[in-house]
Structure 1
């Protein structure tokens, strides 16, 4: 089954989706998924989506540019547990084709048909060798700009 064909309550159309199987490495002392595990999954999902758009870290290196995190907004709605499987989605909801883009994330537990986690991450384009903000190269604006679903985010 194609993950995008799932009839789940996504916040936007056309999500990029991966499945996440919760194992014991994700569990904390409260016996649910640790906050850091969600953050790690955000990073993996964002990279998988960028790779699917045709951008790989080797491209970042050859262009001397990277999209680095400026801000995370994380919302934990319901706990998840050992053995759960989550469907994790991301969308690019803003790309100014200059310096910044925003990704939205939503993780759904299909057993409950509920969102257990969502987030918005703001990225800034920087020079890899100096860390200073730098304009996005054409490859970034083409890939990320085309993928952007143009959702207005509250300021």
Structure 2
């Protein structure tokens, strides 16, 4: 499996009254890593994608410090018009959260979901495990 690794810096304002990073800040961390994975590196996803669902399992609290968190991302469950991005969030090499985002390719000109393009499938295959990589290729 090829994982995409991205460092995300916490902000002081991400902490809540209990002196740990608030759960809502994690959505921003996931978004930063996902955008870096797809949009900063690949022009092929510029056609549009929307988020249909997020899931986050918080395993340990995180307290602000200047070192970035490490997020590792990979792709699972690629279908004709959706795919899942999986994440593991590490604080100083300790796993602190697991998450998943269901992404749907979207055509904003007609305001409807669309099928993944061959170029997008190729990009996703680069971040999938062997079983999912074979399934992605079978749908091309």
Distance change >3 Å, CA 133–CA 51, structure 1 → 2:
closer
Q: How many residues align?
A: 131
Tell me, what secondary structure is at the counterpart of 2:27? helix
Stretches of structure 2 that go unaligned for 5 or more consecutive residues are: 133-140
| Cα separation, 1, equivalents of 2:90 and 2:3 | 12
**Does 2:87 align with 1:105?**
yes
| Cα separation, 2, equivalents of 1:117 and 1:105 | 8
* Deviating 4+ runs (over 6 angstroms): none
Stretches of structure 1 that go unaligned for 5 or more consecutive residues are: 1-12, 61-65
Alignment partner of 2:17 out of 26, 29, 34: 29
5 Å matches for 1:1-155? 13-51=1-39, 53-55=41-43, 59-60=46-47, 66-83=48-65, 85-96=68-79, 98-110=80-92, 113-150=93-130
Shift of 1:137: 2.2
Tell me, what secondary structure is at the counterpart of 2:6? strand
Deviations 1:34-77 (A, max 9, x none): 112100111110110113652366x32xxxxx221111111111
Instruction: Answer whether contact 1:15 1:89 (CA < 8 A) is retained.
Output: yes
Structure 1 length as normaliser, TM-score? 0.73
